[in-house]
Amino acid sequence: MTEQQPGYPTALGASSLERITLLGHDLAEDVMGSVGFGELAFWLATQRRPSRGETRVFEAVLAALADHGFTPTAIVTRLTYLSAPDSIQGALAAGLLGGGSRFLGVTEDCGKFLHSVLTALEGPLPTDDAGWDALALETVTAQRAAGRFVPGLGHHVHKQGDPRTPRLFAIAGEEGLHGPHLSLFAAIGRVHAQVLGKQLPLNGAGVCGAALADLGLPMELLRGFALLARTAGLIGQLAEELRSPVANQVFLSVDLNNRPVDPDPFVPEPLPGERG
């Protein structure tokens, strides 16, 4: 009796002797040269082909997040290449591993935050700016009372406004994809100063999270899309490092300017029962 082999179903890539299929299509004949990379990335993540409008919004997000100068992710990529020029993958991985709550991770944090507010809402969604503003005011007030930041608010450089934000709002509106997540995010931008006492910009990473959420993409993958975008930027950083190196200068600027100080022993906080 022949033992039956286990099956591992996948709708993604599969190969036979003469053919490769991807998402049910012939890779060579139907995909290569016909489907752009952004469109394919969306298709792979959702297993449905995006519309032209969805592709435009999605690729606008990728462009917005690809590179933003000498951020920690870019610096560590260049420094890792300096240390291990034989490991391009290590340099890229080092940069991607730096995508967290302060850089790149805001896209995920904002999208999930907006989604949590909308899914917890009792009753229908607002239908006008006044309704969205009321919901946003309630949301920001609750965050302030809990001592939590509102994801997507503020930027260390673009203090008067992130240029990516209005552009992505406009693109989503042109494509009929300005959905509830973007509506709530825009309302937060209008009302937050009433609670926080100061006006902060809606940052590009946050609006990207809102746009991705309105595209119906899985919340668990939002940071993955930010990392996908930044991979292109990090390749660009490495390409520039090959032509115009700066990593060694960054390294030496720290190494040659270290300042010896006396040890400062760590003292843990006492436990509640140990105080007094």
Q: What is the pLDDT of residue 276?
A: 58
- 239 found inside a domain: yes
pTM over 0.85: yes
Same domain, 140 and 183: yes
CA 130 to chain centre: 29
CB 77 within 8 A of CB 238: yes
Same domain, 172 and 68: no
Same domain, 216 and 158: yes
- For 47: left if phi > 0, alpha if psi spans -120 to 50, otherwise beta; the answer is left
Our count of domains for the chain comes to 2
- 226 found inside a domain: yes
- 153 found inside a domain: yes
Report pLDDT digits (tens) over 86-116: 999 999 999 999 988 777 789 999 999 999 9
Q: What is the pLDDT of residue 2?
A: 65
221, 242, 262: which is the final residue of a domain?
A: 221
- 47 found inside a domain: yes
Reply yes or no on whether the pLDDT at 214 is more than 90: yes
Least confident residue range of 142-151, 152-161, 234-243? 152-161
Same domain, 211 and 230: no
Residues 6+ apart with CB under 8 A from 224: 45
Q: What is the pLDDT of residue 112?
A: 96
Same domain, 185 and 48: no
Please give the residue range of the domain that contains residue 111. Answer: 105-221
Same domain, 217 and 114: yes
How far is the C-alpha of 221 from the C-alpha of 45, rounded, in Å?
Answer: 8
How far is the C-alpha of 187 from the C-alpha of 167, rounded, in Å?
Answer: 16
Report pLDDT digits (tens) over 28-70: 999 999 999 999 999 999 999 999 999 999 999 999 999 988 9
- 15 found inside a domain: no
Same domain, 150 and 117: yes
- 30 found inside a domain: no
How far is the C-alpha of 38 from the C-alpha of 266, rounded, in Å?
Answer: 49
3-state SS track over the chain: CCCCCCCCCCCCEEECCCCEEECCEEHHHHHCCCCCHHHHHHHHHHCCCCCHHHHHHHHHHHHHHCCCCCCHHHHHHHHHHHHCCCCHHHHHHHHHHCCECCCEHHHHHHHHHHHHHHHHCCCCCCCCHHHHHHHHHHHHHHHHHCCCCCCCECCCCCCCCCCHHHHHHHHHHHCCCCCHHHHHHHHHHHHHHHHHCCCCCECHHHHHHHHHHHCCCCHHHHHHHHHHHHHHHHHHHHHHHHHCCCHHHHHHHHHCCCCCCCCCCCCCCCCHHHCC
Question: Is the pLDDT higher at 159 or at 215?
Answer: 215
Same domain, 91 and 147: no
Same domain, 151 and 197: yes
Same domain, 121 and 174: yes
Report pLDDT digits (tens) over 3-37: 777 788 898 998 988 999 999 999 999 999 999 99
CATH code, domain with 178: 1.10.230.10
Same domain, 78 and 168: no
- 24 found inside a domain: no
Reply yes or no on whether the pLDDT at 1 is more than 60: no
pLDDT band per the 50, 70, 90 thresholds, residue 83: very high
CB 249 within 8 A of CB 79: no
- 27 found inside a domain: no
Tokens of 113: 């935050």
- Among 156, 164, 211, smallest CA distance to 185 is for 211
Same domain, 167 and 195: yes
